[in-house]
């Protein structure tokens, strides 16, 4: 018996040792991309490399499987996820966008595979296998409310993009930060958002909360500037947590107060040290000399880095307690990963875990808690940290820098420089100054553009000399030679440094030259002679009432006349003795014959009397009702007729562009040759506008060389002239 015991002890030790060796296993991480995203892939690979180095002594090897899945194809996404599960994936990351996340979560829930998300998913189920590192919308709504209260906004407008923003907006409206009205506007599908932004500007609103995706944020801000929604009186709060990665140089000197939030702290030394190592994992398609800059790291990249670190740290801690075996869990089997929920609980209970996005802590539902955000504000020197906000302490504002509109002399790089400015003599932008004295140089000119350059030169300290574009042409690009004419051509050729005039900003022009922010927004209007009065028609007296009313008046007239005739025939009191001297006449007469009944009612309607007077109560009652009806109708007719006589009837030869094109044989039309208006109709895809341009091509004589010539033709001929609305005004 002792011999058996002596043999069993070494055997147990050998088996135990063999079990520990067998514990060395491979954990496969799966990541789903919606599209080629080099920075997201770089962050994931860099985090995996760091995790591999930390887990060398744990006996756990890390492997990676990645797939690119479509945005909206759930079937193909399911196919890719099932392939990854066959490969033994034990942790799923992504996808970061699209409508396919619910199918991924559903599969991971069924197979008990941890699913780590780095974006907010409105469809996330509570108690599922999903962990979400992105702040909950309720948390971000609390932060926005505290910021609005801190900056003392009263009324403001919320601009949102789509339904993904509604949850956050709803939370703000449930606990409004002000008792004043809050307006809500949704952006159109884009890429042109100027209509909504212009309406907000026209409403007089100066305080705006902008909640849209990062992909369109730059376009929305730029178009807001173009419509005049970015002045010194305007204030913006940006809900996007990636605002710090935008190029905001175009807005630094606008005077607009732009406030934002960010979860990453790109100024921290530790953050910069970690990101500096990402350059080694850049995509081979990137330039060799490209480096990863901390200020360009978007939140999603930082979150995917933290997600991998959190997952692998939990794997490391789990391996100390259990032997982790990676088991393939195909979709068509009932198998699930036995360590799934245990690993999820390890991640939820992680303590003192700090990543690129700060301290990471979760509640029991897998939602992130204890968030701390940095508050940033745009100044002339770029973004500046003005405070912090956290779920525990709320907002803590350290300073509030005031925006400066005009740079100081020491910061200006235009002082004492000389520029050649080309302009055109078109009222009211540039004109020759009328004077009895001989004027020289820049003193010869006046106008809106002239005054604008003068003010700019005084602000920035530069000198300038005007030259005149004789034909007043803004510029036209020859399709064959690819060369520009007009003022734009002079600027491109170096004959002038800049041009100021009524130059419309078009896509083709903006491609070859730089424009300042537009100081005026315009459309295309039609200039035509004032319409003449039309002569009244023969039946204009019928105009006060519609045909429907006249029909019912006639019907009522006929009906009352017949009713009066019948009632007079029935009533004995309407039968009278034609010869009063004869006490017992042979017959009685009734004054209400059918013709007399019609004569009685028409006389009442025309406000005239008749010799017929009702005798019976019934006929008198009908007559009284009819008289009251005629009183109302005649009074209404008289009032409406007076109104029609005082309103001038104007004859309009056309109502819109389509009418004008269809009536080209009656009214000729045209526009300025080689101007932005011609380019607009040339490039338009609208069938009516294309037809208009084709008609003009067949009638070159309808073109004019200048706006003044077009105005003269309108005054002298039966001619309609297409022209910029601001110039017409």
| Interval 375-394: pLDDT, tens | 999 988 888 899 999 998 99
- Alpha carbon separation from 25 to 87, 317, 349, 529, 574 (Å, rounded): 14, 14, 24, 88, 118
Q: Residue 713 belongs to what domain range?
A: 657-728
Measured in residues, the chain has a length of 729
Q: Whole-angstrom Cα distance, residue 353 to residue 161?
A: 34
Q: What is the CA radius of gyration of the chain?
A: 41
Find the mean pLDDT for residues 687-710. Answer: 84
Q: Render the burial of 43-65: b for 16+ CB within 10 Å, e for the rest.
A: bbbbbbebbeeebeebebebbeb
Residue 414 tokens, joined: 């235009």
First to last CA, the chain: 115
Sign of CA dihedral 94, 95, 99, 105: negative
Question: What is the reported pLDDT for 649?
Answer: 55
Tell me, what's the pLDDT at 125?
A: 63
Domain C-terminal end among 646, 678, 710: 646
Q: What is the CATH number of the domain that holds 669?
A: 3.40.190.10
Are residue 124 and residue 142 in the same domain, yes or no? no
Condensed to tens digits (0 to 9), the pLDDT of residues 191-211 reads 889 889 989 988 888 999 999
Backbone angles phi, psi at 405, to 5 degrees: -85, -45
Task: Say if CB 305 and CB 354 are below 8 A apart.
Answer: no
Contacts of 571 (CB under 8 A, 6+ apart): 616, 618, 619
The answer to whether residue 712 sits within a structural domain is yes
- Mean pLDDT for 100-125 is 84
Residues of the chain with pLDDT > 90, as a percent, come to: 14
For residues 329 and 230, membership in a common domain is answered with no
Same domain, 190 and 201: yes
Whole-angstrom distance, CA of residue 343 vs CA of residue 324 = 10
| Residue 532 within a domain | no
If you average pLDDT over every residue of the chain, what do you get?
A: 81
106 in a labelled binding site = no
Choose the weakest-confidence range: 321-325, 339-343, 558-562, 633-637.
321-325
Domain-located, residue 539: no
pLDDT tens digit string along 474-483? 888 887 888 8
Pair 587, 624 in one domain: yes
Instruction: Give the residue among 697, 683, 679 at the shortest CA–CA distance from 503.
Output: 679
Cβ(293)–Cβ(267) below 8 Å: no
Would you say 47 and 308 are in contact if contact means Cβ atoms under 8 Å apart? yes
Per-residue pLDDT, 412? 46
The answer to whether 415 is a known ligand-binding residue is no
Question: What CATH number is attached to the domain comprising 618?
Answer: 1.10.287.70
Query: What secondary structure letter does DSSP report for 545?
Result: S
Total tally of structural domains belonging to the chain = 5
**Phi and psi angles of residue 191, each rounded to the nearest 5 degrees, phi first:** -85, 5
Q: Cα separation of 577 and 583, whole Å?
A: 8
| 251 and 146 in a common domain | yes
Q: Answer with the residue of higher pLDDT: 621 or 407.
A: 621
Spell out the residues 6+ positions from residue 644 whose beta carbon is closer than 8 angstroms to its own.
540, 543, 544
With 0-12 / 13-18 / 19 or more C-beta atoms within 10 angstroms meaning exposed / middle / buried, residue 4 is exposed
Residue 232 structure tokens: 């010194």
> Can you give the pLDDT at residue 285?
53
| Distance (Å, whole) CA 8 – CA 67 | 50
The answer to whether 654 and 663 are in contact (CB under 8 A) is yes
On whether both 264 and 384 belong to a single domain, the answer is yes
For tokens 């690129």, the residue is: 356
Domain assignment of residue 175, yes or no: yes
Q: Give pLDDT, residue 13.
A: 33
Q: What are phi and psi of 166, to 5 degrees?
A: -65, -35
CB 170 within 8 A of CB 122: no
CATH number of the domain bearing residue 52: 3.40.50.2300
pLDDT-based confidence at 520, cuts 50/70/90?
low
What per-residue confidence (pLDDT) applies to 126? Answer: 60
Specify the DSSP class assigned to residue 464.
E
What confidence tens digit (pLDDT) does each residue in 634-661 have? Answer: 888 888 887 777 665 555 677 778 877 8
Q: Residue 283 domain-assigned?
A: no
State yes or no: pLDDT of 311 exceeds 90.
Answer: yes
> Average of pLDDT values for 457-469?
86
Do residues 146 and 127 share a domain? no
**Is residue 676 a known part of a binding site?**
yes
Structure tokens, 489: 């051509």
Count of C-beta atoms within a 10 Å radius of residue 616: 17
Q: 3-state DSSP call for residue 234?
A: coil
- Compute how many other C-beta atoms are within 10 angstroms of the C-beta atom of residue 259: 21
Give the pLDDT score at 521: 66
Instruction: Mention every residue, 6+ apart, whose C-beta is less than 8 A from residue 90.
Output: 27, 28, 29, 113, 114, 326, 337, 339, 340, 343
* 343 lies in some domain: yes
Q: Which are the contacts of 229, defined by CB distance < 8 A and separation ≥ 6?
A: 197, 198, 200, 201, 208
Q: Where are the beta strands (DSSP E) in 490-554?
A: 498-499, 524-527
Q: Does residue 692 contact residue 664 with C-beta atoms inside 8 Å?
A: no
Domain assignment present for 530: no
Q: Per the domain annotation, does 535 fall within a domain?
A: no
Contact in structure between 362 and 131 (CB atoms under 8 Å): yes
How many C-beta atoms lie closer than 10 Å to residue 206's C-beta? 20
- 117 and 34 in a single domain? The answer is yes
Residues 40 and 87 in one domain: yes
360 and 390 housed in the same domain: no
- Other C-beta atoms closer than 10 Å to the C-beta of 572 total 7
For residues 124 and 285, the model is more confident at: 124
300 is in an annotated binding site: no
Question: Is 112 within any annotated ligand binding site?
Answer: no
Whether 560 and 621 map to the same domain: the answer is yes
Q: Which residue has the higher pLDDT, 414 or 694?
A: 694
For residue 333, the 8-state DSSP code is S
Which residues neighbour 404 within 8 Å (Cβ) at sequence distance 6 or greater? Answer: 255, 379, 380
Same domain, 264 and 391: yes
The sign of the CA dihedral 353, 356, 362, 366 is: negative
Report CA-CA distances (Å) from 633 to 355, 544, 561, 664.
83, 11, 17, 45
Name the least confident of 356-370, 561-575, 641-655, 713-727. 641-655
- Whether 171 has a pLDDT exceeding 90, the answer reads no
pLDDT of 9 strictly over 80: no
For residue 122, the model assigns a pLDDT of 67
Distance CA 177, CA 145 (A): 6
């Amino acid at each position: 018996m002792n011999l058996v015991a002596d043999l069993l002890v070494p055997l147990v030790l050998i088996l135990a040792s063999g079990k520990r060796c067998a514990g060395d296993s491979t954990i496969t991480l799966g990541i789903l991309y919606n599209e080629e995203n080099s920075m997201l892939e770089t962050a994931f690979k860099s985090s995996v490399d760091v995790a591999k180095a930390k887990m060398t002594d744990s006996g756990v090897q890390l492997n990676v499987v990645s797939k690119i899945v479509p945005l909206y194809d759930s079937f193909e996404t399911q196919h890719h996820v099932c392939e990854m599960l066959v490969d033994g994936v034990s942790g799923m990351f992504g996808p970061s966008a699209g409508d396919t996340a619910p199918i991924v979560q559903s599969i991971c829930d069924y197979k008990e595979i941890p699913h780590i998300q780095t974006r907010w998913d409105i469809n996330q189920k509570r108690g599922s296998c999903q962990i979400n590192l992105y702040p909950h919308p309720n948390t971000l709504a609390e932060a926005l409310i505290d910021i609005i209260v801190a900056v003392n906004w009263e009324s403001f407008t919320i601009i949102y993009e789509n339904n993904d923003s509604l949850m956050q907006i709803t939370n703000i409206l449930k606990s409004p930060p002000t008792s004043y009205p809050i307006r809500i506007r949704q952006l159109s599908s884009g890429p042109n958002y100027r209509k909504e932004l212009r309406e907000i500007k026209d409403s007089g609103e100066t305080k705006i909360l902008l909640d849209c995706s990062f992909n369109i944020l730059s376009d929305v801000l730029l178009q807001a500037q173009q419509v005049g929604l970015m002045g010194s009186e305007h204030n913006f709060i940006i809900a996007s947590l990636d605002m710090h990665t935008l190029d905001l140089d175009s807005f630094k000197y606008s005077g607009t107060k732009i406030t934002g939030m960010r979860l990453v702290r790109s100024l921290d030394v530790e953050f910069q040290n970690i990101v500096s190592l990402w350059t080694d994992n850049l995509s081979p398609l990137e330039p060799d000399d490209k480096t990863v800059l901390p200020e360009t790291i978007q939140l999603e990249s930082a979150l995917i880095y933290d997600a991998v670190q959190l997952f692998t740290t939990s794997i490391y801690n789990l391996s100390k307690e259990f032997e982790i075996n990676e088991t393939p869990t195909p979709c068509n089997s009932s198998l699930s990963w036995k360590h799934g929920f245990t690993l999820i609980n390890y991640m939820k209970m992680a303590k003192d875990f700090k990543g690129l996005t700060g301290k990471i802590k979760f509640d029991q539902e897998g939602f992130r808690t204890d968030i701390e955000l940095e508050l940033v504000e745009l100044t002339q020197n770029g973004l500046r940290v003005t405070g912090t906000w956290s779920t525990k302490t709320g907002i803590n504002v350290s300073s509030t820098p005031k925006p400066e509109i005009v740079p100081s002399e020491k910061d200006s790089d235009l002082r004492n420089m000389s520029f050649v400015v080309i302009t055109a003599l078109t009222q009211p932008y540039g004109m020759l100054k009328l004077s009895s004295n001989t004027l020289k140089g820049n003193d010869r000119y006046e106008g809106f553009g002239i005054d604008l350059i003068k003010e700019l030169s005084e602000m920035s300290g530069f000198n300038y000399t005007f030259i005149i574009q004789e034909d007043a042409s803004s510029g036209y690009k020859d399709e064959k030679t690819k060369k520009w004419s007009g003022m734009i051509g002079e600027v491109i050729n170096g004959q002038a440094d800049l041009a100021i005039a009524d130059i419309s900003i078009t896509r083709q022009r903006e491609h070859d030259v730089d424009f300042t922010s537009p100081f005026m927004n315009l459309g295309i209007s039609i200039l035509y002679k004032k319409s003449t009065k039309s002569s009244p028609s023969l039946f204009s007296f019928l105009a006060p009432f519609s045909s429907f009313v006249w029909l019912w008046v006639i019907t009522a007239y006929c009906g009352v006349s017949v009713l009066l005739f019948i009632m007079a025939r029935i009533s004995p009191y309407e039968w009278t003795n034609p010869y009063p001297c004869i006490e017992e006449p042979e017959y009685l007469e009734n004054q209400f014959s059918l013709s007399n009944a019609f004569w009685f009612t028409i006389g009442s309607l025309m406000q005239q009397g008749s010799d017929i007077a009702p005798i019976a109560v019934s006929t008198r009652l009908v007559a009284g009702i009819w008289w009251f009806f005629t009183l109302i109708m005649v009074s209404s007719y008289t009032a409406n007729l007076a109104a029609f006589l005082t309103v001038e009837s104007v004859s309009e030869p056309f109502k819109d562009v389509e009418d004008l094109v269809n009536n080209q044989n009656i009214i000729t039309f045209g526009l300025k040759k080689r101007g932005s208006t011609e380019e607009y109709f040339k490039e338009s895809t609208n069938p009516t506008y294309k037809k208009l341009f084709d008609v003009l091509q067949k009638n070159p004589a309808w073109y004019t060389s200048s706006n003044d010539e077009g105005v003269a033709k309108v005054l002298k001929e039966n001619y309609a002239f297409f022209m910029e609305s601001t110039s017409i005004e």
